[in-house]
Chain A
């Protein structure tokens, strides 16, 4: 996949985010108009504030650290990797950890060996760190530590997975952006 394609893909994905945000705003506006026209009671306003607060929480949660989980299938289709704490857009020069859930045919996979490597597309620079991923003891749940991107641009993360005799890899394209 070329860098340009990745950027376009990322933009599309951002477009979806914007669409979702747009829907939320539209719905709030309609709700607010209806409440005003109905001369809302204090309880109505309290409910509106609660919904607004939840919306803010959702929007804040859309940041890279608390972002919605990303699910990717491995190349040969053996595994599904669900990532939390890694976003499609990643911050520059910020060391952080992440959670990974590994399943096969819908069932959690325990005790797999997972190695994460990353590469910057255009220059082939590797990650400046060697992140480590370890099984937490909870079925299918793994914890990754030590992820950092030091250069802006398009990166590809590769999760090499070995469980018993099954080996496969999953890739995730991310854009490292200025903050």
Chain B
């Protein structure tokens, strides 16, 4: 009798575990599987060339850009490099609410991992290439505060940097040659972009899980999603429940566009107008795709030429960030106002009242528990960074460059 009771008890206890196992194979409908496939890194196309940067896939330029990225000599106080706000150990963010360079900025530092796939740069998309983004940060008075002629003077004055520059781009311009300096400055940005193009997200638990079920096999034990994570994924991809996928679509979990989710008040807060201003700044940038410093033909500048502008929904709209590697990139939103992922969930739960009538959020029908599951799912998007050896740490200091250093902590 005791044996029978033990057998029944064992069977009852084993049943939930068995049902969890069974879910992995048959949890998803064919249309859901199509969506899941579209979200995995396996669906991420090979990084296309940047036609505006002919050095974008030049390994020597990337190595040079790697050095420039960590070089604090490219700042007015000698203490700030790109890597100050984009730290490899924090998945190329800085952990701060607002980035701090030579001064304090008004923006949260976004990750650079996979950023080469973006069409627009900065939270309001005020630049249309990675190289012009880098140049803007170098000259911004609160970031690196380094005018372009001084940047070129630093390159000219340091044998190691000068040697590398000349080997890739040719002779440096003479002081006072304004167009030559602009061109050389653009080259500096192109080298930094060549480095940044090598920083790619590696497969996360989510990718391994989906790859396994699409291949018709059981995911490895460490790649199994928990029930909370599975439910969260259901909510995420549902167009009726979470609706997250409307904007966070594709393998990088972003549509690359701009939406107003009511984080700030576009009408009352200075500098919070978002995309409606950003697109005009991109169009008038002296380093945009159509500029003489770009390597692209006009026909290759479709993103800029056909960019939507002068439209009310762009007011207060900011770029949709990737959701990959969120665990290491807090705090969140363009102004870093949400400290944790749970705060982000509460932002959506509370449905902020927008101060303009173009906020895109509408009421959700999902429960608090489902928000928790959503948060659990997002953790499965944390993955490694894939980059060439050595690119995730400062380069070895070259001879004569004692101030070349890594990021501040």
Contact = CB atoms under 8 A, between A and B. Distances in A.
A146 interface: yes
Interface string B272-310: 000000000000000000000000000000110111110
Given A92-B249, A129-B307, A151 B255 contact: yes
B249 A145 contact: no
Summarize A's interface: helix, strand, loop or mixed. Answer: loop
Interface in B239-293: 239, 245-247, 249-250, 255-257
Contact of B38 (A95, A130, A179): A179
Interface in A109-126: 123, 125-126
B226 interface: no
A125 B360 contact: yes
Interface of B: 34-35, 37-38, 43, 239, 245-247, 249-250, 255-257, 302-303, 305-309, 311, 313, 360, 362
Contacts of B362: 123
A178 B38 contact: yes
A152 interface: yes
Nearest to B312: A126
A129 B306 contact: yes
A9 interface: no
Interface string A150-161: 111100000000
B303 A93 contact: no
Q: Which of A123, A127, A145, A150 has the most CB of B within 10 A?
A: A150
A151 B247 contact: yes
Contact of B257 (A130, A132, A150, A152): A150
Given A93-B250, A93-B256, A132 B35 contact: no
A131 interface: yes
Contacts of B37: 178
A131 B306 contact: yes
B302 A146 contact: yes
B274 to A, nearest CB: 14
29 contacts: A92-B38, A93-B250, A93-B256, A95-B303, A123-B246, A123-B360, A123-B362, A126-B311, A127-B308, A128-B255, A128-B308, A129-B306, A130-B306, A130-B308, A131-B306, A132-B305, A132-B306, A146-B302, A146-B306, A150-B255, A151-B246, A151-B247, A151-B249, A152-B249, A178-B35, A178-B37, A178-B38, A178-B249, A179-B43
A141 to B, nearest CB: 19
Contacts of A178: 34-35, 37-38, 249
A178 B31 CA distance: 9
A145 B255 contact: no
Nearest to A97: B302
Contacts of A152: 239, 245-246, 249
Given A123-B360, A125-B313, A126-B311, A146 B250 contact: no
Given A93-B255, A95-B303, A150-B255, A130 B250 contact: no
B237 to A, nearest CB: 9
B307 A130 contact: yes
Contact of B308 (A126, A145, A153): A126
Contacts of A125: 313, 360
A129 B313 contact: no
Nearest to B34: A178
A5 B307 CA distance: 31
Contacts of A126: 308, 311, 313
A125 to B, nearest CB: 7
A127 B255 CA distance: 12
Contacts of B256: 93, 150
A85 to B, nearest CB: 14
Contacts of B311: 126
Contacts of B43: 179
Nearest to B243: A123
Interface in A35-82: none
A159 B211 CA distance: 41
Given A150-B256, A178-B35, 8 more contacts: A95-B302, A95-B306, A123-B360, A151-B246, A151-B255, A153-B246, A178-B34, A179-B38
Contacts of B247: 151
A129 B38 contact: no
Contacts of A148: 306
B131 to A, nearest CB: 20
Centre residue among A93, A123, A128, A145 by max chain B CB count within 10 A: A128
Contacts of A146: 302, 305-306
Interface in A156-179: 178-179
A153 B309 CA distance: 23
A146 B303 CA distance: 8
Contacts of A153: 239, 246
A152 B35 CA distance: 10
User: Quick one: which of B247, B256, B302 has the most chain A CB within 10 A?
Assistant: B302
Nearest to A127: B308
B52 to A, nearest CB: 15
